[in-house]
């Protein structure tokens, strides 16, 4: 039995799938390389969360960066792998999708908010640093390059920040609680498109695997969990080829 056959078998027998996704699921969506040697995250100085809160210059720098990035993110479209996860949801087989990505493509693909945790936030949102209300960030990205005005919360007038978890900013407690509440209800965990190096998010699949929940890793290139005894199945390759084919086969077998 090949690794793909084993993945299809596990997926066929699963009714409550928890999917954990990283940047690799979006590389064919039209979003440019943000992590590579020439990616913007390696050519820019990051804005630390505390600096954003304390320094107006850093507020301007962060809004300028996010406004520049928005053109590419707004034009991106869900990949076949995104759509396959949405198909799992439509079949009633997706317990939860947890993503490290900030691009909003899982929502665009048809995975609803109630089945999704964007653990590092979303650049489609803007969060008020005072009342913590969320609003649509797109109008602010469009306005900032000309106005050069730091956006204010429409509810309370407080400081708005793009809704991405910044360097030095804690993950949202409500998101972690939601994941931990559902994690052990899964009967299959799949990590895809992630090197599983960013903590604490990358530790979550192993928490489930330690409870004897089957754990599949799919990625092009090495991951931090390669060779781990709790990994049930490891597939190497492109997600757009592997994931849709496996989902269609599993749903056909079980349908």
Catalytic residues: 120
CB-CB neighbours of 234 under 10 Å: 19
Structure token digits, residue 45: 């100085």
Residue in the block written with tokens 């969060």? 127
Parallel/antiparallel/unpaired status of strands 215-219 and 160-164: unpaired
In b/e form, how buried is each residue of 7-44, taking b as 16+ CB within 10 angstroms? Answer: bbbbbbebebbbbbbbbbbbbbbebeebeeeeeeeeee
Q: Count of residues for the chain?
A: 255
The residues, ordered by sequence, that sit 6+ positions from 65 with a Cβ below 8 Å of its Cβ are: 40, 44, 47
């Amino acid at each position: 039995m090949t690794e793909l056959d084993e993945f299809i078998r596990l997926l066929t027998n699963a009714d409550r799938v928890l999917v954990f996704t990283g940047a690799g699921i979006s590389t064919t969506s039209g979003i440019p390389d943000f992590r590579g040697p020439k990616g913007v995250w390696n050519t820019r100085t990051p804005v630390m969360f505390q600096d954003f809160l304390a320094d107006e210059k850093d507020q301007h720098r962060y809004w300028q960066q996010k406004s520049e990035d928005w053109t590419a993110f707004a034009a991106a479209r869900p990949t076949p792998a995104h759509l396959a996860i949405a198909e799992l949801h439509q079949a009633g087989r997706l317990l939860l999708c947890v993503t490290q990505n900030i691009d909003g493509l899982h929502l665009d693909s048809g995975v609803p908010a109630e089945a999704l945790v964007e653990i590092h936030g979303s650049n489609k949102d803007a969060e008020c640093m005072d009342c913590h209300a969320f609003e649509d960030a797109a109008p602010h990205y469009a306005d900032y390059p000309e106005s050069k005005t730091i956006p204010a919360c429409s509810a309370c007038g407080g400081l708005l920040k793009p809704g991405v978890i910044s360097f030095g900013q804690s993950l949202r407690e409500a998101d972690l609680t939601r994941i931990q509440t559902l994690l052990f209800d899964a009967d299959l965990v799949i990590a895809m498109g992630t090197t599983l190096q960013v903590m604490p998010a990358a530790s979550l699949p192993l928490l489930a695997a330690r409870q004897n929940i089957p754990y599949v890793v799919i990625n092009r290139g090495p991951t931090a969990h390669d060779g781990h005894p709790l990994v049930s199945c490891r597939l190497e390759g492109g997600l757009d080829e592997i994931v849709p084919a496996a989902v269609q086969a599993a749903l056909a077998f079980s349908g």
